[in-house]
Amino acid sequence: MLALAGVRVTLGGQAILDGVSLRLRPGGWYGLLGPNGCGKTTLMRVALGLLRPAAGLVSLCGQQPPGRPGTVAASFGPRLLHPRRRAWTEVSLRVRALGGDRRAVHAAWEETGLADTRVRCGDLSLGQAQRLAVVCALAGAPRLVVLDEPTVGLDAAALPWLRERLAAFVAGGGCAWVSSHDLAEVERCADQVTVLHAGRVAYDGPVSTLTGADDALRLRSSQPDLLRTVLVEAGLPHQRYSDGSATVFGRTAVEVGRLLAARSVPLVSMYEERRSLDSSLRDLLAQPVVVPETATPGPAEPMERRTVSAVPGR
């Protein structure tokens, strides 16, 4: 869906993005993380063709950005909605521009959760306007949807809607690329994440690798002394706690379960113990950033070198 290699963006002689490379594939839910000012929104703008990089390669759905109409959609939040335009008109314009009929307009309107077709965008709450912006972005079933901070302002009822809507979109072969500071939601939904730090990629890969989801099992037994004895005799790397529980490292639940069953150790609970994405991200951003090698474009995703003129406006 999207491939970038060695992308560099400068502003006032300062590198906003420096050597950024990544790939997004169909059927994936990708998160884009990093502190404020690290270049997340800039990277999305470059990918969409809204900003020309000073150097690097960009391929959007197999061609030079911007993508074909209806193929790629984006939302940069409710601040871009016209405050005097009616919400119904906003939805109708977006849907009809992509060839949708009145039935499609009504279906999209139902997704907004709004009742008054006369309400203007400027009179909506932040959460209502945010949901409207996301609905407009998803109108017409694009192949790739780019969302910048889509959870800001959403209430407890709207968050599950967004989660389920994006899950259905991805399950249908679409690709979702979401920039967010809502780490709990990203950890819950994303397949992979890219972490930007000071304009460079600090991490790009599965969420489970970043959090170490399968590295530790927390065990509780009604016979903690027996549990401790079996773990020691089996030579399993583990950590014991004052409440009698223990964490076993580097073993699967099946392996540990079979061992304890064979020794008749009664288990009260056994679950994966994982670090939160928040703590993993803090540790990652505390480390120095290593500049990655420029990725080589694959034959299925042709790229063109993008250059920018030194003369403004050209």
**Cis peptide leading into 66, omega within 30 of 0?**
yes
Q: pLDDT (tens digit, 9 = 90+) per residue, 154-169?
A: 998 899 999 999 999 9
Q: Which of 77, 91, 57, 58 is nearest to 146 (CA)?
A: 77
Checking if the pLDDT of 213 tops 60, the result is no
- Convert the pLDDT of each residue in 113-156 to its tens digit: 999 999 999 999 999 999 999 999 999 889 999 999 999 999 98
Say yes or no to pLDDT of 265 above 90: yes
pLDDT digits (tens, 9 = 90+) for 76-98: 989 889 999 999 999 999 999 98
Question: How far is C-alpha 131 from the geometric centre of its chain's CA atoms?
Answer: 17
CB atoms within 10 A of CB 168: 11
Give phi and psi for 175, each to the nearest 5: -125, 125
Query: Which domains are delineated in the chain?
Result: 2-71+142-210+277-305 (3.40.50.300), 214-272 (3.30.70.100)
Confidence band (pLDDT; 50, 70, 90) for 207?
confident
Task: Let me know the angle formed at the C-alpha of 215 by 212 and 218, rounded to the nearest 5 degrees.
Answer: 115
